[in-house]
Amino acid sequence: MHSISDPDVTGTDHVGRAVLDNLQTAVLVVDDHQRVAYLNQAGEVLLGASARQLRGQPLGHLLHDPALPALVAETLERQQPVLRHDLNFELPGSPAKRFNCWLTPLDGPGGNGLILEIAATGPLGDTQRESRLLAQQEANRLMLRGLAHEIKNPLGGLRGAAQLLERELADPELAEYTQIIIGEADRLKNLIDRMLSPELAPEMALVSVHEVLERVRALVAADLPPELSIECDYDPSLPDLWADREQLIQAFLNLVRNAVQSIDEADCRPGRVLLRTRVRRRLTIANRHHRLLVQVDVVDNGPGVPEGLREQIFHPLITGRSTGTGLGLSIAQSLVSRHEGCINFHSAPGNTVFSVLLPIAGER
């Protein structure tokens, strides 16, 4: 057992503080009055405030879940560790997420209390789900390239034959049918080119993510449906990214257009898409740990992602919209992954959030 006054727990010991501050899991020490006595850096990031501001605050005011006070009381009373899966906390600037919580009692001359460890299991914390998604994406990419080449080669011959046939037709009215063949061949070629486009090697340079988002906003605003707005909530302190500007524009354009079309098809009025940027710290993407990242959220008030599509939403040719091709999200994920980032999402009717995480160069 440890005491609240134990330096390795409270962080007054330099080595103990360094160890705790380098953990990706949030660690809080809670006294027997359910007030925060200490938290590490991951805890500060989780709660969106400094340890100095949060120390002494009631735990229930910081983490809102009806089950949490009873769990703390049970741990303090029984003096036995408790593990609880899938507690739902609403945190500053984020939708509600699921967390695993470990509660470990401590006691001694400094008073009774417990250690609360919090690890995310939701969209931004499920590293196993993320690894499966990236592996599936690579398999999809190879499959699509092979399929695209097999389709693209005969399309040129089909289009050429239709053009030759059109020249030989005696009745000009029959040209309508050859034009249908030519038009459909061109449509399929464009679709295949979109499948292959993420294969272009990134041309890396310093890029402002806000300049990219404003370019996307201008492109989408030119054809925005009535009663639908695109708003922004930017963190002006974000540094530039080392990235391919055009590929980032395409990735965010796909996400924003997907949000707009989802709202429009469901006739959700007034419609709202929000572009939000924030700094994230200490996250692992594809088994690589990053100290500092940029998070861009594309938030919409549409109907949400259908439950049956959520596990396959980034797979190619999967779509919940009647007019969708099922390529927008797949291409966006592929482009973002080329920047060592990833896209995750949280969806509920009226609040769907697609979050893009991009590492800041040199911050590992």
- pLDDT tens-digit readout, 130-181: 555 666 666 666 666 666 666 777 888 888 888 888 888 888 788 888 888 8
The rounded distance, in Å, linking the Cα atoms of 163 and 338 is 39
Structure token pair of residue 299:
């938030």
Same domain, 208 and 323: yes
Q: What is the pLDDT of residue 206?
A: 92
**In the listed set 173, 198, 223, which residue is the last one of a domain according to the structure?**
198
Same domain, 239 and 342: yes
- pLDDT tens-digit readout, 274-309: 999 999 877 777 667 778 899 999 999 988 887 777
Residue 364 in domain: no
Q: Return mean pLDDT, the chain.
A: 78
Mean predicted confidence (pLDDT) in 11-37: 76
Q: What is the pLDDT of residue 130?
A: 57
User: Is residue 10 over pLDDT 60?
Assistant: no
Same domain, 111 and 227: no
Q: How many domains does the chain have?
A: 3
What range does the domain containing 147 cover? 127-198
- pLDDT tens-digit readout, 343-358: 888 888 888 999 999 9
Same domain, 246 and 300: yes
Same domain, 135 and 236: no
Same domain, 104 and 134: no
Same domain, 211 and 348: yes
**Sequence-ordered list of residues with C-beta below 8 angstroms from that of 96, at least 6 positions apart, any chain:** 88, 89, 90
CATH number at residue 247: 3.30.565.10
How far from chain centre, in Å, is Cα 322?
Answer: 24
The rounded distance, in Å, linking the Cα atoms of 355 and 359 is 13
293 burial class (0-12, 13-18, 19+ CB within 10 angstroms)? buried
Which residue's structure tokens are 């939701």?
Answer: 122
Q: What is the pLDDT of residue 197?
A: 58
Same domain, 158 and 189: yes
The rounded distance, in Å, linking the Cα atoms of 361 and 339 is 10
Q: What is the pLDDT of residue 124?
A: 44
The rounded distance, in Å, linking the Cα atoms of 38 and 11 is 8
CA-nearest of 311, 331, 187 to 258 is 331
Same domain, 151 and 205: no
Return the higher-pLDDT residue of 98 and 111: 98
Same domain, 169 and 250: no
Beta carbons of 283 and 124 less than 8 angstroms apart: yes
| Torsion angle of C-alpha atoms 253, 258, 259, 261, degrees rounded to 10 | 120
Q: State what percent of residues in the chain have pLDDT above 90.
A: 15
Same domain, 243 and 142: no
Residue 161 in domain: yes
The CA-CA-CA angle for residues 352, 354, 358, to 5°, reads 160
Q: What is the pLDDT of residue 109?
A: 47
Which residue's structure tokens are 């500060």?
Answer: 44
pTM: predicted TM-score of the whole model, two decimal places: 0.55
